Amino acid sequence: MESTDSGFFTDKTIAIVGLGLIGGSYAKGLRNMGVRHIIAVDVDKVSLDQAQEEGVIDEGYTSGGTFLGQADIIIFCMAAKTMISFIEENVSYLKVTALLTDVAGIKGQTAQTITGLLPAGIDFVPGHPMAGREGCGYGMSRADIFYGANYIIVPHQHNTAAHIAIVKALALALGCSHVVCVTPEEHDELIAYTSSLPHVLATALVNSQSMNPMIKYFVAGSFRDGTRVADINASLWTQLFLSNRKNLLCEIDHFSRSLRRFSDMLQREDTAAMIQFLQQAAMRRRELVHEKHTH
């Protein structure tokens, strides 16, 4: 059997359900690493045809069906509710030893729901690649979005160690640098701060009343970096925000308090406090960037 340096075997049939930005990037990454057979499912036939013409996938379908029985691994790149519906409709077609995983940004009770739908032998290992870029759709997908990225695995009591190891090996083979395992509660609390809040801030900044046609002549690195994720898939992110509403509201409150602290310092012209505030941020940022991780 052929395998990558990470130990992921490439002689598998892998199905990707949802061939958008992330699903397309998976397909391109899997093809680059030499995976033998890649199947894609997406409602957009144009994207499927393009991917097939480019040699990224071997088969493309606009809905589920018996072909899913070929897949050793199925990667769901779609919202959790849509994924659950797809599994409900197609579970009878799945190979009895299939390994399922996903990329959903919020975990909640999804794993319990899906596990309850699956017969013995089929395992669902929740995952979340911390990778992406502005825009959406297959046309924006790139294999290299995984390079150097973090990958989160959210195992549950029904997962086998062997299946968790396969998902880890897959992440590393795609180019991810760090793989960590957390509980669903830890995942959703942390993701509210590191992902959802920055998206809210970027969109709020672009939607500020200060935005006007002259702004484009005053954009440099800080504004460009700070608003990059404002080019957002509105429908998808609305679902993510609502599904993690409690944690996101908490983080918005924390950020608002921090912003008010700075506003108060500025109002008082408290130079010493402002310097301390900024120095603390610089130190925390350096520690974050240079922190060492282990797999």
Structural domains of the chain, ranges and CATH numbers in brackets: 13-182 (3.40.50.720), 187-290 (1.10.3660.10)
Which pLDDT score, from 0 to 100, does residue 59 have? Answer: 97
Helices (H), 16-160: 21-32, 45-53, 80-90, 110-117
Q: Enter the tokens of residue 178.
A: 């760090």
- Collapsing DSSP to helix, strand or coil, 99 comes out as strand
Which pLDDT score, from 0 to 100, does residue 1 have? Answer: 58
Which pLDDT score, from 0 to 100, does residue 294 have? Answer: 46
Instruction: Report pTM.
Output: 0.87
As a whole number, the mean pLDDT across the chain is 93
Q: How many CB atoms lie within 10 A of CB 67?
A: 14
Kindly list the distances between the CA atom of residue 70 and the CA atoms of 34, 173, 194, in Å, as whole numbers in the listed order: 18, 22, 37
- List pLDDT tens digits, range 214-254: 999 999 999 999 999 998 889 889 989 999 999 999 999 99
pLDDT at residue 177 tops 70: yes
Confidence band for 136, pLDDT divided at 50, 70 and 90? confident
- List pLDDT tens digits, range 44-97: 999 999 999 999 999 999 999 999 999 999 999 998 999 999 999 999 999 999
Helices (H), the chain: 21-32, 45-53, 80-90, 110-117, 161-174, 184-191, 197-206, 221-227, 234-243, 245-268, 271-290
- List pLDDT tens digits, range 179-189: 999 999 999 99
- Averaged over 161-186, what is the pLDDT? 95
- Averaged over 189-217, what is the pLDDT? 96
Do 196 and 248 meet the contact criterion of CB atoms below 8 Å apart? yes
Which pLDDT score, from 0 to 100, does residue 270 have? Answer: 98
